[in-house]
Structure formats: C-alpha cells, structure tokens
C-alpha cells in the first residue's frame, strides 16, 4: 500500500496517547475512527480532542474552520468491528500490557480488511511477538509516538522480525504526512531508542541516591545544569510517572538480563503509590505546593561522569546490535527527549576512553552488571575513535 491509498486510520484506545494520535491524524486530513471499550472512555477521548483543537485555534496555530473540519473527521466508536472494517491503517494505543495488546490484535485480525497495516504505539514491548498474533506479521510494525503526540515531533518506526520494507516505508511516510519526524529502529529491541537510553539513566540516577553517592538535588542539578538536559532525572521520572519507567525497566530486566535490574528505590516508590506528579508525591512533593526546586549550584562531576558512561554504553549496545546507528540515536534523543546534543555526541566530547574507564572502575567496585562495558565501546576506546 502507498501513502496516497490511505484514507481511514483506526486508532484503538482513547486514552492520552490514543486521542492525541487521533487528533494528529485528523489534522493531517485522514478520516479517523477512535475506539475504546466503553462509551465513557471513547467520549472522554473525543472531548479531549475537541478541547485541544479549540486551544490550537485560540492560539491561532490553526484556523477555526480547520479545527471544525478535523473534529468532523473523527468518529468515536465502541464496536471494534465498526472501527476497523474500512481501515487502511490500524494504530493500537491500548494499555502497555502484552496480554491486552495480544487480545486486541486477535480481535482486530478478524474484522480488519486484508489490505490494512497494523502499527502498535508500544513504548517498549516486542513488535515481533505482537505481530505473530496476527495473520499478517509482514504488515505489522511499531509506530511509537511521544507524549503529547500533538506537540512532540518524534515517531520511532520499529521493524519487527517480519515487517516488510513496504510496511516500514508506509508508516514512515504516514508519520511525515502527520507532520512528524520518523526515526527508523532497525531491530526489535526493548525500549527501542529513546527509552533504551532514558530508562537505564533513570535507574542509574536512582542507584546513585540509593547507594548514598549523591542526593536527589545533586543528581538533578547535575542532569539539568551540568549535562544540560531539559529536566532533571528525577524531575522527568515524576513528570512521566515513576511507575511507567519502572514497568519498562522490569520488562528490560526480564528480557535483557541483570544489567537492567531495577533499583529498590524505584520499586519502593511504586509500591507506596508515590508515582510522581500524578499522585501528588514522588521524588518531589507536589501536595504542599513546593513541587520541583532544583538547585543550579550542586553539580557533581563524578555523578556527571557516571551518567555519561551509562548513556554511552547504551548507545554502544544499540549500535553493536544493529538496532540503530549513532546518528539515529542522537537525532531521536534530541527530538524525543530534548537533548541539546545526542548521547553519542556527549560521549565523543567527553572522551569514550574516559567513560570506559569509569565503567570498568565501577564494575570492579560493585560487581554490578550494569557497568559491564559493551564490546563496541571497548573497540571505540582502543581505536581512539568516537561514535561520529
């Protein structure tokens, strides 16, 4: 299927991501069916789209007529068969649980036309495993939007083991038609690009605090004002939801091994319901009105070195395993996480040999698998070359 043959996009799941994706598709001129399992859920999603379109019109980012036309293109539905029967592309954005997604695809396969391409908005789960529930794994890939989809530019387009080039090209073209920048992820690997860097970084930040190496304030001061990332590590965890990052980390631990063992500090926060901004308390307290206050003058060089080393090792792993090249990783992190430079660029500026030495020292000191350097990072250090 070519892009000009796409007329109708079905979006399954009307939560934050689902209604955002539906809005983006409608603004791009596509007819959209927005489906959820209960009338209340799908109506709430539709109402959110209407509110957002009105806001865009108020800010004069779109015209009133454009907002009205986009809303008219969206049809809220509960009946799955009705939602997908005429779909050219089905974008699934249901809860991030493998069993739920598999169940949905089993039903969708029954009603969607043979031509329909399936794209999952999963942030970390296996594209290949999901595709194999269907009878069309070659017409299946990942299409990972970032929250909120209306504002965030990046879409990770992820190849499963069976995804055809035509499917990947179509979904990349569709992302561009929606005004987004697609970055190709060549291989199905947990966390893809952005979460594969961000989540271990959050975990390392937590270990640093857990092991009394530094305080939350020092880590976030270092991340935000030392490294120059838009939000502190703990500030970002609170914003996204500590449970969200923790569940991705659990999946990485389960599939990739002990290098991704979750820090007990994260587990404790999740078990106690201190999930961040949405629960009123996380690493920061939002209930007393204080919120996030990150000092500008508590940057720690040793913390910066440790975080740089973790990022560099993750990038090296992605390149070594042919998930993405260094340029794609940097581009994705700039678009999806607001990094001023990408992590590969950071590593080159800092010195790959120095970061390798940090990992080796930390591994000797702690024995933790997360400090085991990848072969590719060692090769770069020995050759005196950088990622770029």
Give one DSSP letter per residue of 151-186, joined into a string: T--EEEEE--TT--HHHHHHHHHHHHHTT-EEEEE-
DSSP helix/strand/coil, 285: strand
User: Which residue of the set 121, 131, 195, 274 is catalytic?
Assistant: 195
Q: Is 210 a catalytic residue?
A: no
Q: What are phi and psi of 87, to 5 degrees?
A: -75, 140
Tokens at 163, concatenated: 């995804």
Q: Angle, nearest 10°, between helix axes 64-72 and 39-58?
A: 160
Q: Is 123 a catalytic residue?
A: yes
How far is the C-alpha of 94 from the C-alpha of 97, rounded, in Å?
Answer: 8
User: Which residue of the set 156, 204, 218, 314 is catalytic?
Assistant: 156
Q: Is 388 a catalytic residue?
A: no
How far is the C-alpha of 63 from the C-alpha of 153, rounded, in Å?
Answer: 21
Sign of the Cα torsion 131, 136, 141, 144 reads negative
User: Which residue of the set 144, 162, 331, 350 is catalytic?
Assistant: 144
User: Which residue of the set 52, 121, 123, 313 is catalytic?
Assistant: 123
SS (HEC) of 20-49: HHHHHHHHCCCEEEEECCCHHHHHHHHHHH
Q: 26-37 burial, b for 16+ CB within 10 Å, e for fewer?
A: bbbebbbbbbbe
Q: Is 156 a catalytic residue?
A: yes
Tokens at 347, concatenated: 């590593």
Within 10 A of 364 (CB to CB), how many other CB atoms are there?
9
How far is the C-alpha of 257 from the C-alpha of 268, rounded, in Å?
Answer: 21
Sign of the Cα torsion 364, 366, 367, 370 reads negative
Helix (H) / strand (E) element for 379: namely helix 375-383
Distances (CA, A) of 224 to 65, 228, 299, 338: 41, 5, 9, 11
Please say whether the beta carbons of 314 and 343 come within 8 A.
Answer: yes
315 Cβ contact partners less than 8 Å away, ≥ 6 residues apart: 197, 326, 329, 343, 344, 347, 387
Catalytic residues: 123, 144, 156, 195
């Amino acid at each position: 299927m070519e892009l000009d043959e796409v007329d109708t996009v079905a979006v399954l799941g009307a939560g934050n991501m689902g209604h955002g994706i539906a809005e983006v598709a409608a603004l791009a001129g596509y007819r959209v069916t927005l489906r959820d399992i209960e009338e209340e859920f799908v109506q709430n999603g539709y109402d959110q789209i209407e509110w957002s379109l009105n806001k865009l019109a108020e800010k004069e980012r779109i015209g009133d007529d454009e907002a009205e036309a986009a809303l008219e293109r969206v049809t809220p539905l509960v009946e799955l068969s009705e939602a997908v029967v005429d779909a050219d592309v089905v974008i699934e954005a249901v809860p991030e649980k493998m069993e739920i997604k598999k169940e949905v695809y089993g039903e969708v396969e029954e009603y969607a036309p043979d031509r329909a391409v399936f794209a999952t908005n999963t942030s970390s789960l296996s594209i290949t495993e999901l595709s194999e529930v269907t009878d069309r794994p070659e017409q299946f890939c990942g299409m990972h939007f970032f929250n909120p989809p209306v504002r965030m530019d990046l879409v990770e387009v992820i190849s499963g083991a069976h995804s055809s080039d035509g499917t990947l090209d179509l979904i990349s073209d569709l992302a561009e038609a929606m005004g987004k920048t697609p970055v190709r992820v060549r291989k199905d690997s947990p966390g893809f690009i952005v979460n594969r860097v961000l989540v271990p970084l959050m975990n390392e930040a937590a270990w640093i605090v857990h092991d009394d190496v530094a305080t939350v304030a020092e880590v976030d001061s270092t991340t935000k004002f030392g490294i120059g990332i838009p939000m502190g590590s703990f500030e970002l965890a609170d914003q996204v939801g500590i449970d969200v990052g923790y569940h991705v980390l659990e999946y990485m631990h389960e599939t990739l091994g002990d290098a991704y063992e979750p820090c007990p500090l994260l587990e404790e926060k999740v078990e106690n319901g201190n999930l961040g901004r949405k629960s009123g308390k996380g690493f920061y307290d939002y209930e007393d009105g204080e919120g996030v206050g990150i000092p500008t003058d508590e940057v720690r060089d040793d913390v910066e070195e440790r975080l740089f080393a973790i990022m560099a090792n993750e990038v090296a792993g992605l390149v070594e395993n042919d998930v993405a090249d260094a340029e794609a990783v940097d581009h994705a992190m700039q678009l999806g996480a607001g990094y001023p430079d990408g992590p590969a660029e950071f590593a080159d500026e800092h010195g790959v040999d120095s970061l390798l030495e940090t990992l080796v020292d930390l591994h000797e000191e702690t024995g933790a698998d997360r400090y085991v350097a990848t072969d590719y990072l060692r090769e770069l250090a020995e050759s005196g070359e950088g990622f770029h």
